[in-house]
Amino acid sequence: MENRSLFKVFFVVLLSLFGLNYLFGQAQNVGIGTTTPDNSAILELYSTSHGFLVPRLTTTQRNAISSPATGLLIYNLDNQRFEYYNGTQWVAVVSSVATVPFNLIASGTNTTATMVVGSGASITLGGGNIEANKFIGTGSTTDAVDLATAEVSGVLPISKGGTGNSTTPGSGQILIGNGIGFSLNTITAGTGIQITNGAGSITISDANANSEVTGSGSANQVAFWNGTNSISGDNSLWWDNGNQRLGVGTSTPSEKLHISGNVLFTGALMPNGSAGSSGQVLVSQGAGNPPQWTSASSLETDPVYTAAISSIVFDGDAAGGDLNGTYPNPTVVKIQGRNVANTPPANGQAYIWNNTSSQWEPGNVGSVSSVGLSMPTEFSVSGSPITNSGTFSVSWNPQSANTVFAGPTTGTGTPTFRSLTDADIPDNITASNYLPLSGGTMTGTIDFATGQTFPGTVSGNGAQPYIAIWSGGSSLTYDNRLQWSNSENALVIQNSLGLVNSGSGLNYFRTSNSQTTTISYYLPTSLPTGNAFLQTDASGNLSWQTIPTLPTGTTGQTLRYNGGWEATNLIYQDVSNNRIGFNFTNPATLLHQDQGNATATYHKFTAGSTTGTGVNDGFDIGIDNSGNAIIRQNENLPLIFQTNGTERMRLLANGKLGIGTTTIVDDSILVQTNGDVYIDGDLVVTGNIDPKVIYFQPQSTTPNVISKGAVFYDNTNNNLKVYNGSTWSSLITQDNLPSQVASVAWKTTGNSGLNESTNFIGTTDNVGFKIKTNNTDRVIVTGSGNVGVGTTNPNSTLSVEGSISTKVSVVTSNITLDETYHTVLANASSNITITLPNPSTSNVGRTYIIKNINTGNVTISGSIEGSSSLVLRQKESIELISNGSTWVVTSSYQPVPPIGSIIAWHKDFANTPSLPYGWVECNGQTLNDPASPYHNQVIPNLNGDPNGADSPGLSEKAGMFLRGGTTSGTGQYDAFQGHRHSVDSDGALKYEYAYNTYDISLGNYAPPANITIGDPISDGTNGTPRTANETRPKNMSVVWIMRVK
């Protein structure tokens, strides 16, 4: 298993190496301002009139960049220069040619040219070499680094301040500073540490070898002890580290805990820390929440669960959808609505879609018989192919000395080992006070041969603070009218500023899209005396013009020009309510006009010469000086009312009204209608009715009516009938009244000797009746038997619109309930018992509501859903109903969670309300609440600074996570599980030095080298590891709160 894991890592590295090379060769390039970006650039910017603007930061802002990428470029506002990040530090780019201290560097012999590397500067060496016999510092020659003498292999002697040591190191020795230089030392073991100096290697391990643990297992298996210092894996328990999941009986868990097989509970199942009560059932609380133990009786009246009962599947029920047959063993006949063939699959086959037969059918999916590995010619491969199990081995083939692995010298192609050429070394490196090499540092003086130059050098002179400008060729000069002010961080232009338009092309300034000639604008030579703006005279001259001042107003006022601008309330805007007031500063609607007390105000509408525009012309709408609402037609024309584009009513100028007609008869009739008139109320006539009677046209068939209260004359029975909303009833007349009521007359003064089967108040047909007081319906009994109190349309056997009062009994001692009780409030400071009557047919449907409003416990005794009693604690309540055989709990209230519970609270989420009654924050406070059992006790501090506590005591767990335990209140420090790191299977320690690889295990000794174990780095797949001063999972902060009463 170890070899296979090492092969996977090596194989991923190789794929990454050649995958990156492939992506580089195939990458697309992007052009901005050009449609033909250079193939060598991933991004090319092109413009003849625009520049490339990089982010501009101060030094403080630059240093605040978290983990800057190598190559990141910014412009430093403090240092006035470009800077880039080289992976370890910010490096300045040349900001002006005048700062380059030399320009004569050549490849020949040079005895005069020098390059001074100032104090604090450095020369960083890359893959190249600096060839010299001696590096001389600015002090005495004894400080020089001498490379010319035949020194001991791998030792770099420094006369002063260096190693000062040319002794061949012994096995396992390292260089350690001694305050003057470096000396060779052997690492010795300390307490609890064992150090073994092998052949070129140093092994650090537990001092007690017996404490080491050995064992084997498969990847992702959870280890078990199988003996002293020995562990092994087991297929019954697997850990999915990528998804943080544990599998029991499965190696591919799909949830945090995935159990494949039966589960045996020998103790309580405790969701959210609760074991529940006997007889309760487990009810889901939705995604992301633990289920909750709930009494089964509470589900009987829960509309959600009641509605869901119909969806429960029982044995023998017919299956549907993609299933056929009956439960519990239906047959799958479809997958997502598509048919499945009824053909048993063979071993190793899978269901494959057959487009011809339009169904899923079993079929062979093929197999892999061997896996091979092919590599470029620079590598040798052994162990390929693998037909069952094995390990690939890949190694580099020998190459010629002084060759590098690189791409072709021109164009693109496959990289090979070849010699370096001039084209491999860039000639466009920009430097400031030092050479931009990487790989080492140096101070002092470097001599260069005279007569040598840098290609593309620039000459010229300048002075602070003027900006360099080109004067032709490779020469720079400056103009004292163009300066850069560091103090104001601004460009300073002396004398006049001209804005010049070239007349064509892309410009920073353009006067007109159609401009074709050159136009220049010149600023005035002096500043204005006050607020002003620039105005052109169309000849290129700009002059300052004074800005007119506006009058001062108040919020909501508007401007009006009346020989001058003035602020007025004539039109007032209420900005906060989006309302307009006319001559009114407190509008109550979108438009609100007010002319003052006892003053008429109208809105007038006229139509020019058609109506005239005078005071008595057109149409007015408003109020008179008494406050009456007025609609006024001033013309000798009708007033027409329309809805939906159709005329509905017309009021003529002579006062006659027509409804539903546009042709009103001009006689003595004031109101004329075309259609039925429906009067929902009294019809009061103070004049004469012509022709003196109300005549009903006899009807042989019942007319179609739309509302109760309609009356017609029944020509068949010769009587009047009235419609009550559902049926027609004959009107009782003086002739037939005695015969209808004499036998059932009911006295309002009292009745006796009655038989309830024959004497009653009510109806004998499907007609209801009412009880009224003060001529208002109070009680109605419908023909179907529904009784309504306070409503004329009862929709249930009893409908009450209004309050209902029931008897409330306050008890302080033991009591037995009967039919005279309903709501019982137990107000006892000590324990009492309330006894229920035996459930029977005589009390079916009777309900009791019982609540404990004091500190004593209340025991309810009786047959309650199979129990003989239950207990109510303070503020708990219960509602019971008799079904004839037992008392059933229909609802109950218990404050949850219990006192002492600690839960998470999102305090700073938008619109979060304040803490509910009985809850406090876990902030280490001493509780001052006599009503709480924790009065004068310290509440745990779970919300403070996690680094502020010296010990994990109860009051110091600031910022801690909570975890389950057999007891509560015990704290633990953060910890990391003990472990060890393995090395290569051959136990070798390898490192590279000057293009050579040394394998210490083979006796191939290299010069001494410092080995530093740094911070964790990326494995190339899972990102950069995050480090901190504690071990913690990914988390979000919450405020812990505790229920104290």
3-state SS string for 110-158: CCCEEEEECCCCCCCCCCCCCCCCEECCCCCHHHCEECCCCCCCCCCCE
Same domain, 490 and 504: no
On whether residue 453 sits in a domain, the answer given is no
C-alpha to C-alpha distance for 12 and 1019, rounded to whole angstroms: 10
User: What six digits make up the tokens of 850?
Assistant: 């019982």
Same domain, 887 and 814: yes
pTM of the predicted model, to two decimals?
0.26
**709/298: higher pLDDT:** 709
C-alpha to C-alpha distance for 279 and 293, rounded to whole angstroms: 9
* Residue 49, C-beta contacts closer than 8 angstroms, at least 6 positions apart: 505, 506, 507, 508
On whether residue 422 sits in a domain, the answer given is no
Q: How sure is the predictor about 132, in pLDDT bands with cuts at 50, 70 and 90?
A: low
Q: How sure is the predictor about 993, in pLDDT bands with cuts at 50, 70 and 90?
A: very low
Is 811 in contact with 804 (CB distance < 8 Å)? no
Same domain, 509 and 481: no
Is 340 in contact with 327 (CB distance < 8 Å)? no
**DSSP letter, residue 252:** S
**Environment class of residue 372 by beta-carbon count within 10 Å: exposed (0-12), middle (13-18) or buried (19+)?**
exposed
Q: What is the pLDDT of residues 528-553, one digit of tens each?
A: 877 777 787 767 678 888 777 778 88
Domain boundary among 512, 545, 578: 545
How many other C-beta atoms can be found within 10 angstroms of the C-beta atom of residue 924?
Answer: 17
On whether residue 57 sits in a domain, the answer given is no
3-class secondary structure, 261? coil
**How confident is the model over 326-338, as a mean pLDDT?**
84
347: containing domain? 318-365
Give all strands (DSSP E) within 656-727, no chain letters. 657-659, 671-673, 711-714, 719-723
Q: What is the pLDDT of residues 797-842, one digit of tens each?
A: 999 998 888 899 999 999 999 999 999 999 988 899 999 999 999 9
Q: Which residue has the tokens 């050098």?
A: 457
Which H or E run contains 176? strand 173-177
Q: What is the pLDDT of residues 763-802, one digit of tens each?
A: 888 888 899 999 899 999 998 899 999 998 999 999 999 8
Same domain, 847 and 862: yes
User: What six digits make up the tokens of 868?
Assistant: 């003989």
Same domain, 814 and 888: yes
3-class secondary structure, 639? strand
Is 119 in contact with 130 (CB distance < 8 Å)? no
**How confident is the model over 974-997, as a mean pLDDT?**
53
Which CATH number belongs to the domain containing residue 812 in this structure?
Answer: 2.60.120
**CA-based nearest residue to 991, from 1009, 1018, 966, 968:** 1009
C-alpha to C-alpha distance for 669 and 689, rounded to whole angstroms: 13
Residue 456, pLDDT score: 55
3-class secondary structure, 530? coil
Residue 979, pLDDT score: 62
* Residue 652, C-beta contacts closer than 8 angstroms, at least 6 positions apart: 638, 658, 664
Residue 4, pLDDT score: 40
On whether residue 687 sits in a domain, the answer given is yes
Q: How sure is the predictor about 280, in pLDDT bands with cuts at 50, 70 and 90?
A: confident
On whether residue 7 sits in a domain, the answer given is no
Q: Is the pLDDT of residue 262 over 90?
A: no
Same domain, 489 and 519: no
Q: Is the pLDDT of residue 1002 over 70?
A: no
Same domain, 463 and 539: no
Count of residues making up the chain: 1045
Is 71 in contact with 85 (CB distance < 8 Å)? yes
3-state helix, strand, coil in the chain (%, to 5): 10, 30, 60
* Residue 147, C-beta contacts closer than 8 angstroms, at least 6 positions apart: 132, 133, 134, 135, 156
On whether residue 356 sits in a domain, the answer given is yes
**Environment class of residue 824 by beta-carbon count within 10 Å: exposed (0-12), middle (13-18) or buried (19+)?**
buried
**How confident is the model over 99-114, as a mean pLDDT?**
46
**How confident is the model over 109-131, as a mean pLDDT?**
55
Is 73 in contact with 65 (CB distance < 8 Å)? no
Is 198 in contact with 187 (CB distance < 8 Å)? no
Q: What is the pLDDT of residues 431-479, one digit of tens each?
A: 444 454 444 455 555 555 445 454 556 677 778 888 888 777 667 888 8
C-alpha to C-alpha distance for 172 and 204, rounded to whole angstroms: 12
C-alpha to C-alpha distance for 163 and 178, rounded to whole angstroms: 9
3-class secondary structure, 200? coil
Least confident of 766-770, 927-931, 969-973, 986-990: 986-990
Round the average pLDDT of the chain to a whole number and report it.
73
User: What six digits make up the tokens of 110?
Assistant: 């040079």
C-alpha to C-alpha distance for 713 and 694, rounded to whole angstroms: 12
Is 23 in contact with 412 (CB distance < 8 Å)? no
What distance separates the 2 farthest-apart alpha carbons in the chain?
A: 151
Domain boundary among 305, 336, 365: 365
User: What six digits make up the tokens of 384?
Assistant: 């390929």
Q: What is the pLDDT of residues 384-438, one digit of tens each?
A: 788 777 888 888 889 888 888 888 888 888 888 888 887 777 655 554 444 544 4
**806/758: higher pLDDT:** 806
Same domain, 812 and 888: yes
Which H or E run contains 21? helix 2-26
Same domain, 466 and 531: no
**CA-based nearest residue to 887, from 844, 948, 918, 942:** 844
Q: How sure is the predictor about 883, in pLDDT bands with cuts at 50, 70 and 90?
A: very high
Residue 927, pLDDT score: 92
Number of domains in the chain: 5
**DSSP letter, residue 331:** E
Amino acid sitting at position 449: A
**CA-based nearest residue to 824, from 799, 847, 840, 802:** 847
On whether residue 340 sits in a domain, the answer given is yes
**CA-based nearest residue to 206, from 217, 190, 228, 187:** 190
End-to-end Cα, the chain, rounded Å: 58
Domain boundary among 338, 365, 392: 365
In terms of average pLDDT, the best of 81-95, 508-522, 967-981 is 81-95
The verdict on whether omega for the bond into residue 362 sits within 30 degrees of 0, i.e. cis, is: no
**Environment class of residue 950 by beta-carbon count within 10 Å: exposed (0-12), middle (13-18) or buried (19+)?**
exposed
Residue 880, pLDDT score: 93
* Residue 500, C-beta contacts closer than 8 angstroms, at least 6 positions apart: 509, 518, 519, 520
Same domain, 484 and 536: no
Amino acid sitting at position 667: D
Same domain, 523 and 484: no
On whether residue 359 sits in a domain, the answer given is yes
C-alpha to C-alpha distance for 137 and 853, rounded to whole angstroms: 93
C-alpha to C-alpha distance for 308 and 117, rounded to whole angstroms: 84
**How confident is the model over 610-618, as a mean pLDDT?**
90
Q: How sure is the predictor about 197, in pLDDT bands with cuts at 50, 70 and 90?
A: low
Q: Is the pLDDT of residue 1010 over 80?
A: no
Is 942 in contact with 957 (CB distance < 8 Å)? yes
Q: Is the pLDDT of residue 140 over 90?
A: no
3-class secondary structure, 108? coil
* Residue 478, C-beta contacts closer than 8 angstroms, at least 6 positions apart: 461, 462, 463, 466, 467, 468, 469
Same domain, 476 and 536: no
User: What six digits make up the tokens of 781?
Assistant: 């009994």
C-alpha to C-alpha distance for 358 and 352, rounded to whole angstroms: 11
